[in-house]
Amino acid sequence: MLGQRVITAVVLLALLLPALFAASPMPFALLTLVLISAAGWEWARLNGVATPALALGSGALLALLCALSLSHLAQVGQAAGLWWLAAAVWLLGGGWALRRGPTGWLPLPPLLRWALGLAVLWLAWLAMAQARSIGVNFLLSVMCVVWAADISAYFCGRAFGKRKLAPTISPGKSWEGVYGGAAGVLLLAAGWLWLDAHFSFDSPSLFLLLRQRLGLGGLLLAALLLTALSVMGDLFESLVKRAAGVKDSSGLLPGHGGVLDRVDALLPVLPVALALISL
């Protein structure tokens, strides 16, 4: 299993890093378009689309939506209202879904669940493409929020975790892990602000933009909000998988599960980060 994880990670990095650091944002947008389309296929299978052709069609439809958006990225990607709509969907709809739990997910109409997932994936990909258009430093700072929250939560949860966060959805998560994740993101923000002050990058980081536009207090609140949304994205995908009775969204990434398993926490964080810097 460990060997599979390492090999898969190396292959993904070999594909993603050249695309990420290319002079144009287009290679990264196209590569992630393929990955998000695979996530669309996974989402369809998790939500009752049993026919293989229809599941593949869901991924193809998502790819088409992303490709059409790419030709108008400068206009669509800078529409602050779109990011605030995504924020509202996650804060209200995500919170509602987590309160209902896995047993409350399946009674929703299958068409609604299918459409909601494709919309969320499209918005996340669009936010990722727009973030890359702003700059590599900005995109990496947003993505590192999720990675810092996840890593810090894991170690703090193992060391101090006692109070279960959502036992019916993800029994391994604890409130102590969430607090540790928040501390990790705040340390990340402080470190990245230092880097922004001492080195020249292709773009300002998320943390620098938040401090410039919202002040230190606003940066603190925004970092805590993004940490909470990272946890929400992770829990939401766990809820959907538990409702479907599966452990992984697919086996596309040997040793890692599926694409959704790797991007779940990014789904709310990417669009909400863009909403916050629009203030």
Shortest CA distance to 257 belongs to which of 229, 237, 277? 237
User: Residue 27 corresponds to which amino acid?
Assistant: P
Tokens read off for 63? 């790819």
For the ranges 69-73, 150-154, 159-163, the maximum mean pLDDT occurs at: 150-154
Predicted model pTM? 0.94
Per DSSP, the residues of 153-182 read: HHHHHHHH--SEEETTTEEEEEHHHHHHHH
Q: Which residue has the tokens 């995908």?
A: 237
Query: Could you give the angle at the alpha carbon of 107 between the alpha carbons of 47 and 234, nearest 5°?
Result: 55
pLDDT in tens, 2-18: 677 788 888 888 989 99
pLDDT in tens, 22-51: 999 999 999 999 999 999 999 999 998 879
Poorest-pLDDT segment among 66-80, 116-130, 156-170: 66-80
pLDDT in tens, 72-122: 877 776 788 899 999 999 999 999 999 999 999 999 999 999 999 999 999
Rounded Cα distance between 116 and 240, Å, is 12
Q: Are 42 and 250 in contact (CB under 8 A)?
A: yes
Length of the chain: 279
Per DSSP, the residues of 180-230 read: HHHHHHHHHHHHHHHHHHHS--SS--HHHHHHHHHHHHHHHHHHHHHHHHH
Rounded Cα distance between 201 and 198, Å, is 10
Question: Which secondary-structure segment (H or E) carries 241?
Answer: helix 206-244
Shortest CA distance to 42 belongs to which of 263, 258, 238? 258
Rounded Cα distance between 229 and 77, Å, is 21
Rg (CA), the chain: 18
Where are the chain's structural domains? 2-277
Shortest CA distance to 21 belongs to which of 192, 171, 266, 203? 203
pLDDT in the model for residue 74 = 73
